[in-house]
Structure 1
Amino acid sequence: MNYGTLLISKAIEANDPNALLRFNIAEADLPTQGERKAFRYVMQYAEQHRGQAPTAEMVTNEVPDFQPDFNIEASYDYLAKNLKEQAAEREFIELVNGRIDPETNRQVKAPQLAEKFEAAQKSGDMGSFFEWLTKQAESLKMRTNVRNSVGTDIKRDIDKFKAEYENRKAGESFRIWRSKFDFINRAMGGYVSSNVYVIYGKSGRGKSAIALEEVVNCAMQGANVLIWSMEMGWYEVLVRLYVSISGSLGVTTATLNGVNMEAGFNSRDVRQGNLNEEFEAGFMEFLGQLNDILPGNITVRGVDDEDFGSRTLRDLKSDIIETKADVVLVDPFYYLDYEANTSKTAGGDAANTSQKLRRLAGHTKATIFALTQADEEDEKDSEDGPRELKLPQRKGVKKTKALLEDAALLIAVDTNAKEGRGMIGLNKGRDGGEGESAEIIYLPQIGVVKQPEAGEAAAAQFEF
């Protein structure tokens, strides 16, 4: 069946040329020269005559090799879907066999599939071939997309709204992950799926530690977590994760300012494989029980993973789909392989990547934490010695200012591990909360990173 002819004819008969736009029909979807000429003529006529379609006689007079067919009972949606599937099939055949000019019966396009495969074999770079093949498959899939409306209609789509409301009520299409820090939950209600949250601070001030605490807390709520760690190796990340989890369980007891508190294994001893016999036995028992301890799961990509050479958003999307990730940590954002700078402006590559990361969160319905650095400032210790905790301002987001606009929440961090204290603040919240902050106990080396409870001191030297 000639779906292209039927679609154009239906648009002419119904005086609705905009239907071809609504259903995302492109000239390249049409198989014959006559249909493409008729398509161009109908669209140009509509543009010049306020959306009106030309008559059938006008079209056949202008394009003699196009013959309208008005015996049409099928819907636009049906015709458009089949037309696009046929177009994708033709494109696939061209990849495999090349393209033959029907008029001259000569090949005008070489078969790309065999050509690319042979080149990859010769160079020994099969990875690039598979990357190209994946792009072609995604392009073909996109080719079959049919858009039958623009956006969501506030009146017409009430049933669509009700269905989404019920899904959210059941927790199926919408999740809120509680923060480990109560003041964030009070201010924001937690972290919402399909959003990007940016955690930033100066170098060495605990950004990664705070982020790991948050994603561990999400995994404790049942989330599948994906961590892209582009500065730390996988072993270091796992040490931090295990210490954090053990701290939340209180496998050991520590004393701060004379107050006993639950703590975890010592990260330095775990990192160096230097736990004493008693603690090593306890640590191995803890690892053996991890399936029961952690309701969700955490997958780590470390900087030293051999298969972690490509760090594009396409790769990130693939990993999100593969791991079924609900929560994603990108540490740090500026180590991603940036998207092309299509705007040709300074910082355009980072800005384009930030925008597409936000879009990726929406498409995958994942909650994404992106880490970046704050601008450095000269600091001086106070007269009494200890450094004053100072949260970076929102204008201090370094590397890309686009994160300011694309993030649902900016979380500023400053810590002092030597003194066992820190501060977290909210500098921009799309849903409110700007200006909220809280001091925390900050002892990540033993898995204690939390808001202080009654009787606990947040700022004091800790001996261990």
Structure 2
Amino acid sequence: MAVTGQQLLSKIIDTGSTQALAKYNVKRSDFSTPAEREAYDFIVKFGAENGGDAPSYATYSANVRTVTYIPEVTDSFEYLAGELKDATGKRELAEYINSPEFTQSYETLPTEAFINSLTDRLSRIKMETRTGVPNMTDISTAGERFLTEFRARKAGTSFRIWLSKFGTINEKIGGYFSGNTYAWYARSGRGKSVMVMEDAIEAAFQGANVLIWALEMSEYEWMARAYSSISARISETIRRIDGVDYTVGFDNRAMLMGTMDADYERGLAAFVDMLAEVVPGRIVIRAADSENFTQRSIAQLEVDIAEIDADVVVVDPIYLMDFERNTSNVAGGDVAATSVKLKRLAGQTKTVIHVVTQAEEDAKEKNEDGTRELSPPPRAGIKKSKAILEDAANVFGIDTLAQEGRGVIELGKGRNGGEDTRVEIVYLPNYGVVRELDTQGQAQQFASVSGF
């Protein structure tokens, strides 16, 4: 059993193709040692860059020196993958049973909730240790499979819906469905990163494990924004801004500048100490200045998703990723290939992946007096590649007038409805206040005053 991983990797080299890895659902996490995982990473990267071909023995042995090559393995891929998956399942089961999470659930949850939690975890381990899935489905004979999936969805064990912070989005599209990508776009400096961050934090408040790839921000900058937003959700501090009282969080600019007064600094320290109790889920960030964050490819993203068992992922922005190879040799083909791989990754990992990109600038957006109106860019203005539009379940155009504390989100494409819906936003991110404007409530208030 100890050499099964080495045998499988060696057989891949002998056959000259990486196809068996996908066919039998062999993943990086199935290998029990760091050396085998590094060998797997090398083979997968080579295959991605060379049309699915495996490296030659000479190339493999020159680049992988810590894993023994075993020539002429006669066991089938099916058998080797089965053995590898069996070991993975037992390893993951043992780790879970012996983990603090298992003990805490056993001691704190009611019996029914504990059994449901245990069943959910066991089902996930079972799914992860399958060695393959049917290649094609005949819908006239696959009814039982469909019903099984329906019941799993009904029970919440097959897929998840993570709700948006913005109620109208939930009303129009039902929230964010696992297995889908969602694209957010705006012109430079208009708040797309803020809007996506708000929904990422919202998912964490629902218990999600959230992975952030903040590719153009530092860790400190992103965390300052997040701390401002999270603190505003639990704050009792009222601040009057432009004649309106808001419940606000820590001042983002003060955190960035290091100019917070002593009382607020003590409050910030207390807030940081209690943060794990405030947020039911996890938010894990890799940022532009994160140590050892040199690989920003689809393969690395998949590794990170598996590492934290992510439910929701943010890639901000997509055009700073390490692009997939442009085999089409057309303009934008590298971004298009990356977008397609992200969509597949969302489906394979059953995650929600939020993708951020730029919109084309509009030199005519300002009026003659230098002012402008809120005007989200049209979906035709998505920069870099139209594949981002085509691959996403929904796209969200964003515009803000930060000096006026206003913003808007416009649904530019809706696979499940909601297209052309407009969401008005209160936009005061420096104080953590980014929320949907209660237009109905305001209208009712106006009616009661005016007599209409």
Q: TM-score, normalised by structure 1?
A: 0.68
Offset at residue 445 of structure 1 (A): 0.3
Instruction: Measure the CA separation in 2 of the matches of 1:273 and 1:408.
Output: 40
**Structure 2 residue 396 is the aligned partner of structure 1 residue 421:** no
Secondary structure, aligned partner of 1:264: coil
Partner residue of 2:430 out of 427, 438, 445: 445
Instruction: Measure the CA separation in 2 of the matches of 1:229 and 1:317.
Output: 16
**Structure 2 residue 340 is the aligned partner of structure 1 residue 393:** no
Match of 2:158 in 1: 173
Q: RMSD of the alignment, in Å? A: 2.8
Matches within 5 A, 1:50-449: 114-117=61-64, 144=81, 149-379=134-364, 381-382=366-367, 386-449=371-434
Instruction: Measure the CA separation in 1 of the matches of 2:188 and 2:229.
Output: 21
Structure 2 vs 1, CA of residues 423 and 110 (structure 1 numbering), >3 Å: closer, same or farther? Answer: closer
Instruction: Measure the CA separation in 2 of the matches of 1:142 and 1:238.
Output: 47
Instruction: Measure the CA separation in 2 of the matches of 1:272 and 1:180.
Output: 28
Residues 143-198 of structure 1, C-alpha deviations (whole Å, 9 max, x = no match): 95976744223232222222212221121121111111111111111111000000
Offset at residue 269 of structure 1 (A): 0.9
Residues 292-314 of structure 1, C-alpha deviations (whole Å, 9 max, x = no match): 11010100001011211111100
Residues 37-71 of structure 1, C-alpha deviations (whole Å, 9 max, x = no match): xxxxxxxxxxxxxxxxxxxxxxxxxxxxxxxxxxx
- Which AA in structure 1 matches 2:317? P
Secondary structure, aligned partner of 1:199: strand
Residues 393-422 of structure 1, C-alpha deviations (whole Å, 9 max, x = no match): 010000111111101001000001111111
The 8 Å contact of residues 252 and 265 in structure 1, kept in 2 or not, is answered as no
Instruction: Measure the CA separation in 1 of the matches of 2:268 and 2:253.
Output: 13
Residues 88-144 of structure 1, C-alpha deviations (whole Å, 9 max, x = no match): xxxx9xx9xxxxxxxxxxxxx8665543256xxxxxxxxxx99xxxxxxxxx79995
Offset at residue 329 of structure 1 (A): 0.3
Instruction: Measure the CA separation in 2 of the matches of 1:183 and 1:141.
Output: 48
Instruction: Measure the CA separation in 2 of the matches of 1:153 and 1:353.
Output: 30
Higher-Rg member (1/2) = 1
Instruction: Measure the CA separation in 2 of the matches of 1:148 and 1:407.
Output: 24
Instruction: Measure the CA separation in 1 of the matches of 2:79 and 2:238.
Output: 56
Residues 302-354 of structure 1, C-alpha deviations (whole Å, 9 max, x = no match): 10112111111000000000011100000001111111111122221111111
Match of 1:46 in 2: none
- Which AA in structure 1 matches 2:226? L
Structure 2 vs 1, CA of residues 166 and 421 (structure 1 numbering), >3 Å: closer, same or farther? Answer: same
Secondary structure, aligned partner of 2:146: helix
Offset at residue 250 of structure 1 (A): 2.5
Structure 2 vs 1, CA of residues 113 and 180 (structure 1 numbering), >3 Å: closer, same or farther? Answer: same
Secondary structure, aligned partner of 2:426: strand
Instruction: Measure the CA separation in 2 of the matches of 1:285 and 1:450.
Output: 25
Structure 2 vs 1, CA of residues 202 and 161 (structure 1 numbering), >3 Å: closer, same or farther? Answer: same
The 8 Å contact of residues 259 and 455 in structure 1, kept in 2 or not, is answered as no
Structure 2 vs 1, CA of residues 155 and 310 (structure 1 numbering), >3 Å: closer, same or farther? Answer: same
- Which AA in structure 2 matches 1:115? A
Instruction: Measure the CA separation in 1 of the matches of 2:160 and 2:57.
Output: 49
The 8 Å contact of residues 253 and 263 in structure 1, kept in 2 or not, is answered as yes
Structure 2 vs 1, CA of residues 351 and 380 (structure 1 numbering), >3 Å: closer, same or farther? Answer: closer
Instruction: Measure the CA separation in 1 of the matches of 2:313 and 2:143.
Output: 32
Secondary structure, aligned partner of 1:289: helix
Instruction: Measure the CA separation in 1 of the matches of 2:276 and 2:414.
Output: 35
Offset at residue 385 of structure 1 (A): 6.1
Instruction: Measure the CA separation in 1 of the matches of 2:303 and 2:133.
Output: 27
Structure 2 vs 1, CA of residues 251 and 283 (structure 1 numbering), >3 Å: closer, same or farther? Answer: farther
- Which AA in structure 1 matches 2:338? T
Instruction: Measure the CA separation in 1 of the matches of 2:256 and 2:78.
Output: 46
Identity of aligned residues (%): 44
Structure 2 vs 1, CA of residues 300 and 29 (structure 1 numbering), >3 Å: closer, same or farther? Answer: closer
Secondary structure, aligned partner of 1:413: strand
Which protein has the bigger helix share?
2
Q: Which moved more, 1:235-244 or 1:147-156?
A: 147-156
Structure 2 vs 1, CA of residues 156 and 229 (structure 1 numbering), >3 Å: closer, same or farther? Answer: same
Matched residue pairs, number? 337
Instruction: Measure the CA separation in 2 of the matches of 1:29 and 1:117.
Output: 17
Instruction: Measure the CA separation in 2 of the matches of 1:179 and 1:228.
Output: 19
Residues 422-442 of structure 1, C-alpha deviations (whole Å, 9 max, x = no match): 111000010011110021110
Q: TM-score, normalised by structure 2?
A: 0.69
- Which AA in structure 2 matches 1:170? A
Gapped regions of structure 2 (runs ≥ 5): 1-11, 17-22, 25-35, 40-55, 68-76, 83-130, 444-452
